[in-house]
Amino acid sequence: MTPLVETAGVKSVTLFENDGFVIYRSEDDPTNEDGQMPRWISALDISEKSNRLTFIMEHGTVILYRGDRLHLAVHCGPSTNLGEVRQTAERCHESLHNLA
């Protein structure tokens, strides 16, 4: 997760399981509090054909990545280069799922 956490504009990175259990949280913020995880899971469940969802919010953007075992939430500031974040997040997410 280090390359993603170090990407300019990324406020927090959260790795969580299907039940909302948080495996990794880079920083605490309102987008990754334990009470928020069911909302992200619900969003992923509703849009089952998409492996990536983007939410434009008042204080930035949240990008969700669906995985077989783990999901990823990335909270970015308002002026973040989302293309760079998406590329880095996809590489990190893919690397996680390729681990034995």
Q: Which has the closest alpha carbon to 65: 57, 76, 75, 74?
A: 74
Q: Retrieve residue 23's tokens.
A: 């495996």
Residue 81 has a pLDDT of 94
pLDDT at 12: 93
| Nearest of 2, 39, 40 to residue 24 by alpha carbon | 2
Token pair 């990008």 in the structure block, residue = 63
Which of the residues in the chain have pLDDT under 70? Answer: 97-100
Q: What is the pLDDT of residue 100?
A: 45
Please say whether the beta carbons of 22 and 72 come within 8 A: no
Q: Residue 66 CA to chain centroid, in angstroms?
A: 9
Please give the model's pTM, rounded to 2 decimal places.
Answer: 0.88
List the one residue out of 90, 82, 42 whose CA is nearest residue 62: 82
